[in-house]
A and B are shown apart, each in its own frame.
Chain A
Amino acid sequence: MYKIVRKEILNPSVKLMEIEAPYVAKKAEPGQFIIFRIDEAGERIPLTIADFNREKGTVTIIFQEVGKTTKRLGQLAEGDEILDFVGPLGVASHFEGLKKVAVIGGGLGTAIAYPQAKKLHSLGIEVDTIIGFRTQDLIILEDEMAVVSDRLIVATDDGSNGHQGFVTDMLDKCIADGADYDLVIAIGPIIMMKMVSQLTKKYGIKTIVSMNPVMVDGTGMCGGCRITVDGEIKFACVDGPDFDGHLVDFDEAMRRQMMYQFEESEQKETHHCQGKEASNA
């Protein structure tokens, strides 16, 4: 069992939890992920490691409540325990020989971009961070990002806070203004990572994206998370989740993400009804 030692509500649908998992905390590096399962009937869900504390033996996860499992996780309180928490999985990100990097976080992707920015910053690499949200209420980790960035740009689609527009607009402007990035790291919805990759390809700037396909085991034994990179099949759980954004087949990845859309909506319905019953009781 893995204990929830801290819980924070970051925005109406995004929550942070610090989980006691000493083995995971000891080895975790930015770019890696964990798989959790709440209880016996639960499914295995991957989440990227948002932070870790080797001394305390804890791992921080940040998740958006999008379906049955994440909603149920969100209802748990500090002191509660979850049944399974396995990791660190996937390949850690590599930052050797970099001078200036742009870190792009879209929505919840900001939580995954945070440990990357933090690590880059700690290595003395110049970090420009651009984080984008639909609207002001959804902004997360602004203060944390500010601490680990040389320059932080916050964008909202509707302009309710910070710059109005998409992260790609901000990145384009930075590059046009002469920012000489040797790497762009883009983490967020697939469509956003696709747009960033298309933009940087034009400029010939190497771009790393963090893929988040459907997973089951997370150890390379089923291939449910397979994506096409440069024409070859890769398993995101063991070969990634970081890949060269200029080589990923994003359209295929978007399509594969929709595979269980129907079942997920059915789950949400069931969950909703159960919630109602519980509150009536």
Chain B
Amino acid sequence: MPKQSLRNMSKTKVVMPEQAPNVRNQNFLEVSLGYTEEMAIEEAKRCLQCKAKPCVGGCPINVWIPEFIKLVAAGDFKGAYDKIKETNNLPAVCGRVCPQESQCEKFCVRARRGEAVGIGRLERFVADWNLANRQVQPEPVPSNGKKVAVIGSGPAGLSCAADLAKLGYQVTIFEAFHVPGGVLMYGIPEFRLPKDLVQKEIDAVKQLGVTIKTNMVIGKVLSLDELTAEGYEVIFIGSGAGLPSFMNIPGENLNGVYSANEFLTRINLMKAYQFPKTDTPVKVGKRVAVIGGGNVAMDAARSAKRLGAEEVYIVYRRSEEEMPARLEEVHHAQEEGIIFKMLTNPTRIIGTEDGWIKALECVEMSLTEADESGRRRPVVKTGSEHQFEVDTVVVAIGQSPNPLIKATTSGLDTHAWGGIIVEEETGASSLAGVYAGGDAVTGAATVILAMGAGKKSAKAIDDYLQSQVSSSRI
């Protein structure tokens, strides 16, 4: 066969099959169905295998993108998986939830004339193929006898723990919830990230020799000092940004008002969508308003629709252009019938006499010229007050780091807004032997950035402990 036939010069990505909008908005099954082997090979052939590899620089953990795609194009999915795994501990997760359009795919040469190569879709395909077709037992790494404690089992903690385990460290993750995974389990819904898949990725991390202890709220059950006393030489804090922000407007404590964290935790972690088969209830009315424009708001709105709400509104104070949510998620939400009320800001939640939500009072906003930070500030249009009837409100305007560890650890420096202050390149905190990364440092960001931070700290922790060994030998 002539070699030239390997290239696919189509300007657009191979279409990924997905559930039809009016079917999927009635169920919690995954929306995107993923590529078949043929589709994956076809899409992989769109990669030009360019020398500059700008895509790799766009990936926070520098996955060997052209290399793995070349293997996919050749039908060597096993080889492609092993290549991805060299740098990425959770590929089935990243392929699904990374904002590729602003990372790897943003820099793809093919994006100059047409669509970028579907790097995320290919990573996802390879990871899923591996889970379906292979039982990988990682080679046991001889232990170096050094103990590291990781606080939090979200993307940052899992990634840090996996990398350290590969280097021979005895790693124990302490998780406050009853299942590990952090936001992958309680935050991102099943229809975007199936939980059995997350569980399999976590199992793979455990197979590296990582121990995960659940129901361990560090700061309450054990302090950082007590972890040190138990022989952990280094502690990595990956406790995330789990403190919900409220709007501080009247009526926020009415019955039917949820933080997005509570709403999504009930649905995803506690499986309230299966109530009464499961024991945790969730209250979704006929008309639901979700306040905010990020991915969390999209997740909450789409979940509400699936729980039977007739009308679901996204209420956002800026315009669609400024929404921080992924474009793909916004499109999915629109297709599923979510109604977008842009340039609208809630001022008050109005209740019934017995304390339930009746309506949301809002004002209309307009955007000013961009200021020196480049952001267009929303200002209130005078006389634009109006009300609309809703019976459930979900507040999704952001989260900040949980203050529990800070409150119980003296000498740990944090910003006024709660983020742990660390050295950028290593994640080293103000306390010797204590590192931190992910949302606990940056405030709510992305899964992949948290994973990148976990990897960076794992490397720094190894350097730190190695240097201690050599200095103690002198």
Q: CB of B216 within 8 A of chain A?
A: yes
Residues of A within 8 A of B404 (CB): 219-220, 238
A164-213, CB < 8 A from B: none
Given A256-B255, A258-B255, A23:B221 Cβ within 8 A: yes
Complex Cα–Cα for A266 and B283 (A): 13
Partner pick for A37 among B178, B255, B354, CB 8 A cutoff: B178
Chain A positions within 8 Å of B248 at CB level = 233
| Residues 212-232 of A contacting B (Cβ, < 8 Å) | 216-217, 219-224, 226-228
Interface residues on B, range: 35 or more
Specify which chain A residues have a CB less than 8 angstroms from the CB of B280 in the assembled complex: 43-44, 216
Asked if B222 contacts A23 (CB within 8 A), the reply is yes
- Given A41-B277, A43-B280, are A256 and B253 also a contact pair (CB < 8 Å)? yes
A217-B177, A256-B255, A260-B283 known; A266+B276 contact, CB < 8 A: yes
Picked from B266, B281, B402, the residue with its CB within 8 Å of the CB of A219 is B402
Interface residue B246 (Cβ < 8 Å from any Cβ of A): yes
Which of A68, A220, A256 touches B403 (beta carbons < 8 Å)? Answer: A220
B242, CB-defined interface residue at 8 Å: yes
Task: Tell me the minimal C-beta distance from B459 to chain A in angstroms.
Answer: 29
CB of B259 within 8 A of CB of A223, answer yes
CA distance A216 to B258 in the complex (A): 12
**Judging by beta carbons under 8 Å apart, are A270 and B253 in contact?**
no
* Other-chain residue from A220, A221, A223 in contact with B246 (beta carbon distance below 8 A): A223
Which residues does chain B contribute within 8 Å of A46, judged by CB atoms? Answer: none
Residue in B closest to A221 when the chains form the complex, CB atoms? B242
B255/A221 in contact, CB under 8 A: no
Given A43-B279, A69-B279, A217-B177, A223 contacting B262 (CB threshold 8 A):
yes
Tell me which residues across on chain A come within 8 A of B244, comparing CB atoms: 221-223
Is B220 engaged at the interface, CB distance under 8 Å to the other chain?
yes
Type the 1/0 row for B346-359, where 1 means its CB is closer than 8 Å to any CB of A: 00000000110000
Closest Cβ of chain A to B213, distance in Å, is: 9
CB of A263 within 8 A of CB of B402, answer no
Q: Which of B215, B402, B403 contacts A84 (CB 8 A)?
A: B215
Once the chains bind, are B253 and A89 in contact (CB under 8 Å)? Answer: no
- What is the distance, in angstroms, from A228's C-beta to the closest C-beta of chain B? 6
Name the one of B178, B262, B278 contacting A41, with C-beta atoms under 8 angstroms: B278
Q: Does chain B have a CB within 8 A of A87? A: yes
Query: A55 interface residue, CB < 8 Å from B?
Result: no
Does B261 touch A at the CB level, under 8 Å?
yes
CA distance A222 to B253 in the complex (A): 13
Q: In the complex, which residues of chain A have a beta carbon less than 8 angstroms from the beta carbon of B283? A: 259-260, 263
Tell me whether A263 and B275 are in contact in the complex, defined as CB-CB below 8 angstroms, given that A44-B270, A85-B215, A255-B355 are known contacts: yes
**In the complex, what residues of B have CB within 8 A of residue A228's CB?**
253
Query: What's the minimum C-beta distance from A81 to chain B, rounded to whole angstroms?
Result: 13
Contact B265–A221 (Cβ < 8 Å): yes
Q: Is the CB of A88 within 8 A of B278?
A: no
**A42 in contact (CB, < 8 A):** yes
A89 to B266, CA, bound (A): 20
The answer to whether B270 and A226 touch across the interface, beta carbons within 8 angstroms, is no
Interface residues of B in 327-360 (CB under 8 A from A): 354-355
- Over the window 211-223 of chain B, the binary record of Cβ atoms lying under 8 Å from chain A Cβ atoms (1 yes, 0 no) is 0001111001110
B105 contacts chain A at the CB level, 8 A cutoff? no
B243 proximal to A (CB < 8 A): yes
A252 within 8 A of B: yes
Chain B interface main SS type: loop
| Interface: A27 (CB within 8 A) | yes
State the Cβ distance, B269 to closest chain A Cβ, in Å: 8
Task: Tell me which of A83, A86, A233, A252 has the highest count of chain B C-beta atoms within 10 A of its own C-beta.
Answer: A86
**Is the pair B279, A27 in contact by a Cβ cutoff of 8 Å?**
no
| B42 within 8 Å of A (CB atoms) | no
Chain A residues positioned under 8 Å from B246 (CB to CB): 223, 233
Closest to B407 in A: A238
Residue of A nearest to B259 (CB): A223
| Residue A160 is within 8 A (CB to CB) of chain B in the complex | no
Residue of B nearest to A41 (CB): B278
Contacts of B214 in A (CB 8 A): 84
Nearest-Cβ distance from residue A174 to partner chain B, whole angstroms: 34
Distance in angstroms between the alpha carbons of A228 and B254 in the assembled complex: 11
Q: Is the CB of B270 within 8 A of A43?
A: yes
Interchain CA distance A267-B271 in the complex, whole Å: 15
Q: How far apart sit A179 and B72, CA to CA, in the bound complex (Å)?
A: 82
Q: B410-453 CB contact bits vs A (8 Å, 1 = yes)?
A: 00000000000000000000000000000000000000000000
User: Considering the complex, which residues of chain B in the window 259-311 have a beta carbon less than 8 Å from any beta carbon of chain A?
Assistant: 259, 261-262, 265-266, 270-271, 275-281, 283
A87 touches B220 (CB 8 A): yes
Question: A41-B277, A41-B279, A89-B217 known; A217 and B255 CB under 8 Å?
Answer: no
The answer to whether B281 and A260 have CB atoms under 8 Å apart is: yes
Q: Is the CB of B221 within 8 A of A221?
A: no
B281 and A263 within 8 A (CB): yes
Whole-angstrom distance between the Cβ of A246 and the nearest chain B Cβ: 19
Tell me the complex Cα distance, A232–B252, Å. Answer: 11
Is the Cβ of B178 less than 8 Å from the Cβ of A222? no
Contact partners of A85 in chain B: CB under 8 A: 215
List B contacts of A84 (CB < 8 A).
178, 214-215
Flag A17-61 by CB within 8 Å of B: 1 or 0 each: 000000110010000000001000111100000000000000000
User: CA A226 – CA B244 in complex, angstroms?
Assistant: 11
Residues on A lying within 8 angstroms of B by beta carbon are: 23-24, 27, 37, 41-44, 68-69, 83-89, 216-217, 219-224, 226-228, 233, 238, 252, 255-256, 258-260, 263-264, 266-267, 270
- Pairs A–B under 8 Å by Cβ, sample size 19: A23-B222, A41-B277, A42-B279, A43-B279, A44-B270, A87-B220, A88-B220, A89-B217, A89-B220, A217-B265, A220-B243, A220-B404, A221-B244, A222-B244, A223-B259, A233-B253, A252-B355, A260-B281, A267-B276
Listed from nearest, the 9 A-B pairs whose CB atoms lie closest are A222-B262, A263-B281, A221-B242, A43-B279, A255-B355, A86-B215, A43-B280, A84-B178, A223-B259
In the complex, given contacts A41-B278, A224-B258, A256-B253, what are 7 additional A-B residue pairs having Cβ atoms less than 8 angstroms apart?
Answer: A42-B278, A44-B270, A84-B215, A221-B265, A228-B253, A255-B355, A263-B275
